[in-house]
A and B are shown apart, each in its own frame.
Chain A
């Protein structure tokens, strides 16, 4: 039997050409963003927040996915675990940008102006939580906790490549369980702080889970894109079979539907109750140019992925799955745009350089860092006890 359990050591070669292209694209994005900060800061800053929240979400989804695998003792995805591990390499830079964004707090958040709060009873009532020093402290604390967990989990997994035994697996199982609990609590308040407080009069108790499903849906879609690319380029050709694609497709399908479920849950309660300070959020997004974006958001994030991934063969098809996942990556940007920008663009959504630049920097920077991390380590966790189960996956 030993001969059957051959351990492959595929490596990913990050070609000079791809590296240069991604680097140039991300630098162009950064240049546009910096120009935007001088020319139109009040439009560029929300877009930096958007792009960075998108980037941070990808990194967090990576840690989330690894942690889920460990706590559920799941073997199917062990062979692709290096992909979410590589995704976490964007966390330090996105954390730095998030902290740098604290400098723009007065442009982004109306509750940060004392003159505005002085005239507003609701904001005064909320000022115990929504004030600049406490906001800054919380931002740093969330990011420090997430970075600490991500670093420890990924380091233990990579260390296993050079070590025998179950030490890393047992360590990571404990770290993952702790991370999931801590993440659920911290991300709940973080999403309220960074995104919900852009419209500080409005509130929704389901907002954090809505943000979480968008984050995780985009995370697994992006992970699937990378897995399929690695399969097409060769390193994953003999490692990822149809069953892996089927499982990833099922996850994308499930979380797309879950996203819709939560979207609607938030909508129907506010629509039913019809309380002015709550319902204003949706009336604003149903007027003018925002209505088409509301529809596009639902169609791209749920309707098209749902109908496309319903039959079994599309979930197993590399081409179809890749296209749906790229659509979801775009749709998540639409979703965040729809959440973040209405207070800054009252009339209708506009997309110009200041909207494109930060996203270009975030997405090309993301792929640059992820491919660099993938090229640096073994492409599969060679000493993981679950690797054989994953290589022989058959559903």
Chain B
């Protein structure tokens, strides 16, 4: 399967934010935007929804904390009871530091793994360069031409207020 892409190249960060904003308002399908540096406000212009990684992080932290707390109760009060200084076998204050550490470990490492998994990243993955100038001084907006009504002239009209450097069509093979 393949999809037709429209690659529009702009000269400044103001143009890319403006063009992305108008493209989204006009209802076009924005595939991605490539810039040489982080551009403030671009995430909002693209209409990217807030990340859900925070919930993954919270859930994993809770899992880690409960698992470690359970494990300590099991080892020190159930499986092999050890009397330490006459304190009760289940002494929560003594379990807190390790519980805390494991919570941080689960939440931290787990969130990174969840991020890599969800965004299909892995070490050594080849990054396709969509437009070479995007790593230097150009700002690139990529849209998908989803339906037959997609009209390049209309898009050009939409981008008129922003200094368009170049525009080209591309066909991308999409692996099923």
> A residues bordering B, Cβ < 8 Å?
264, 267-268, 271-272, 274, 310-312, 394
Contact = CB atoms under 8 A, between A and B. Distances in A.
Contact of B58 (A267, A268, A310, A394): A310
B124 interface: no
A312 B85 contact: no
B116 interface: no
B50 A312 contact: yes
B40 interface: yes
B54 A312 contact: yes
A311 B54 contact: yes
Contacts of B54: 311-312
Nearest to A393: B40
Interface of B: 40-41, 50, 54, 58, 85, 93-94, 96-97
Contacts of A394: 40-41
Contacts of A311: 54
Contacts of B97: 268
A394 B43 CA distance: 12
Contacts, number: 18
A310 to B, nearest CB: 7
A272 B94 contact: yes
A311 B51 CA distance: 11
B100 to A, nearest CB: 9
5 contacts: A264-B93, A264-B96, A268-B97, A271-B93, A394-B41
A268 B41 contact: no
B49 to A, nearest CB: 13
A311 B58 CA distance: 10
A267 B58 CA distance: 26
A268 B93 contact: yes
A286 to B, nearest CB: 12
Nearest to A261: B100
Nearest to A272: B94
A274 B85 contact: yes
Given A267-B93, A268-B94, A272-B85, 15 more contacts: A264-B93, A264-B96, A268-B93, A268-B96, A268-B97, A271-B93, A272-B93, A272-B94, A274-B85, A310-B58, A311-B54, A312-B50, A312-B54, A394-B40, A394-B41
Nearest to B85: A274
A295 to B, nearest CB: 14
Contacts of B85: 272, 274
Nearest to A273: B85
A228 B101 CA distance: 35
B89 to A, nearest CB: 15
A271 B96 CA distance: 13
A341 B63 CA distance: 40
B28 to A, nearest CB: 25
Nearest to B94: A272
Contacts of B40: 394
A181 B143 CA distance: 56
A271 B97 CA distance: 14
B114 to A, nearest CB: 17
Contacts of B58: 310
Contacts of A310: 58
A257 to B, nearest CB: 11
Contacts of B94: 268, 272
Nearest to A264: B96
Contacts of A268: 93-94, 96-97
A148 to B, nearest CB: 41
B82 to A, nearest CB: 15
Contacts of A267: 93
Nearest to A311: B54
Nearest to B58: A310
A139 to B, nearest CB: 36
A249 to B, nearest CB: 15
B59 to A, nearest CB: 13
A311 B85 CA distance: 41
A312 B41 CA distance: 17
B113 to A, nearest CB: 21
A214 to B, nearest CB: 20
Nearest to A268: B93
Contacts of B50: 312
